[in-house]
Chain A
Amino acid sequence: MADSKLPPGFADLEPFVEAWCLDSEPERYAKRLASTMDEIQTFYDAIFPRAEEAIVHLEQFPLDELPDDALRLLKLLYSLILVSFAVEIWRQPYIPDTGTASFDLKLEPTP
């Protein structure tokens, strides 16, 4: 498939690439806050059961030599990590009782 964005076998996750394949933690966190719980739950339900398979696929590459499609899959897993708290713990996008406090990841390694 010429225009597939994810590695073969992960076509079911293609619909989430546009929204959840993000480059940095601040973008991922902002996306979580800007999403409804329905949107977050739909993404989580689609990717969580595929996470182990995705990791096994990604493990075959050195971290700094991931092909583009694999890199996109990895970024989806990063988004899964950030939304997991909303789904598994808070049942809402934001952390309770955090008011207007901010705590932003200014530097993170890539990929």
Chain B
Amino acid sequence: MQQARKAPLQYPKPPEGTWTEHYSELGTAPVSYESMVSPEFFQLEREAIFKRAWLNVGRVEQLRRKGAFFTKELGVARTSLIVVRGMDDQIRAFHNVCRHRGNKLVWTDHPAEEIGGTCRQFACKYHGWRYDLDGRCSFILQESEFFGIDKADYGLVPVHCDVWQGFVFVNLAKEPEQTLTEFLGPMITAIDYPFEKLTERYYYRGDIRSNWKVFLDAFQEFYHPPILHGHQNPVMSQAEYKDQGFYTMHFQADGPHRVGSTSGGAGGLLPPQMYNPIELVMRSGLFGPWDPSEIVTTELPPGLNPGNKKRWGLDSFQIFPNFAIVFWETGWYLTYHYWPVAHDRLIFEANAYFAPPRNVRERLAQQLGIATIKEYALQDCGTLEATQMGLESRVLPATPLGDQEFMCRHLHKVVHDWVDDYRRSRAEG
């Protein structure tokens, strides 16, 4: 007699019956994916979203010393930024453009590549104009040859810059409509995490042929993993997930941001046949190192597990428009950045941050964790280029999204709201 198959764990939903209907403004109808394939819509997104929202461009640990700087290519806004810690310890951002003839100010060898370092001032490669770290123009070669020029009028063009929990954000608007704290809102600013202790950083970068939202959507739903990644390890390939799907524990939205929480990896607690052999040796895998890092205490940091679920394993916070932080139960975190380049292309960045390893065993557990990320992410990359191709055919009028794809539906609603708002404000002049 065949044994009854174990049903996947399901979790209570809001009183309305579904997460989607709990946020009634989202509707339940199929969603148009025109915004994924339209170059015109992408032009609107540049202005309506990426030049109005606060964008995370890095962390303070990249700017430890006075004079430390990095450049950030923001193709989506057709600009490059210099982010720098001044002699007064203030972190500032400037457009990476010399005020003289418009040459890109800071770069080495390849003008389109990002660089970082430490310096006392910035000097243009072209005609030698120089700038202090606070942006002031400090030197003009043959200044007396110019006509009534005042260096005070030729400082670098500043960009609004603020820091939350060590994350450096910029806003390209002349005057941001909200402060960073207002923009992040109560759900995100409730997070108080020891980011500063997790300084061991692994940085991945990919250049992908898909719309940024097509890509982001795959990283904000847990509907696809048992299928697309179903062969990666025995846990993933369990029949109950393959046949009946995986359920997210908790969804929540706050303004333009959202979070999904899931159960954990049960590292080491399942029978050995549920793991790949390497995972048993290195005590690590998809959910990262099995053994908790030194930051893990009996109390979860404030803001995490907002649904207050038992057997919590991870939170995937999606910070509008293109930034995500994923917190894992064993005390490490991942960030994702989705930088659009064109309507059908993005730069995808993933950073994994761990506590500095105390020994070789902890280092190896980190290594297997980050290697596993790549095995999964590359499958996503290939598949999402295929999705873009499917959408470009424009044979689909709209896309049905299930309740497990709540976060995808929410993103599309917010994107359209911001674009509509921008169109309205333009029409009103």
Instruction: List residues of chain A with CB under 8 Å of any chain B CB.
Output: 25, 29, 48, 51-52, 55, 58-59, 61-63, 66, 74, 77-78, 80-82, 84-85, 88-90, 95-99, 101-109, 111
Contacts and interface: CB of A to CB of B under 8 A. Distances in A.
Contacts of A82: 371
B367 A78 contact: yes
B200 A109 contact: yes
B206 A81 contact: no
Best-buried of B200, B232, B278, B386 by chain A (most CB within 10 Å): B278
A39 B206 CA distance: 28
B200 A104 contact: no
Contacts of A48: 277-278, 281
A61 B357 CA distance: 13
A105 B202 contact: yes
B390 interface: no
Nearest to A96: B379
B203 A105 contact: yes
6 contacts: A48-B277, A84-B278, A89-B276, A105-B204, A105-B374, A106-B203
A84 B285 CA distance: 12
Contacts of A89: 231-233, 276, 375
Contact of A98 (B200, B202, B367, B381): B381
Contact of A81 (B358, B367, B379): B367
B359 A77 contact: no
Given A52-B281, A59-B360, A74-B360, A105 B370 contact: yes
Contact of B364 (A81, A96, A97): A81
Nearest to A102: B206
Contact of A63 (B278, B360, B379): B360
A98 B203 contact: no
Contacts of A77: 364, 367
Most buried by A among B209, B282, B358: B282
Contacts of A109: 200-202
Contacts of B379: 95-98
Interface in B335-387: 348, 350, 357-361, 363-364, 367-368, 370-372, 374-375, 377-379, 381-383, 385-386
Contacts of A105: 202-204, 370, 374
Given A63-B360, A103-B205, A103-B206, A97 B278 contact: no
A103 B381 contact: yes
A103 B378 contact: yes
A6 to B, nearest CB: 15
B254 interface: no
A34 B378 CA distance: 17
A78 B112 CA distance: 32
B201 A81 contact: no
Given A77-B367, A78-B367, A107-B202, 10 more contacts: A55-B281, A81-B282, A88-B277, A89-B233, A95-B382, A101-B382, A103-B381, A105-B202, A105-B370, A111-B363
A81 B368 contact: yes
A111 B362 CA distance: 12
Nearest to B233: A89
Given A98-B381, A101-B382, A109-B201, A55 B364 contact: yes
Contact of B276 (A74, A84, A99): A84
B277 A63 contact: no
Contact of A103 (B233, B277, B372, B377): B377
A13 to B, nearest CB: 15
A55 B203 contact: no
Which of B203, B363, B383, B385 gathers most chain A CB within 10 Å? B363
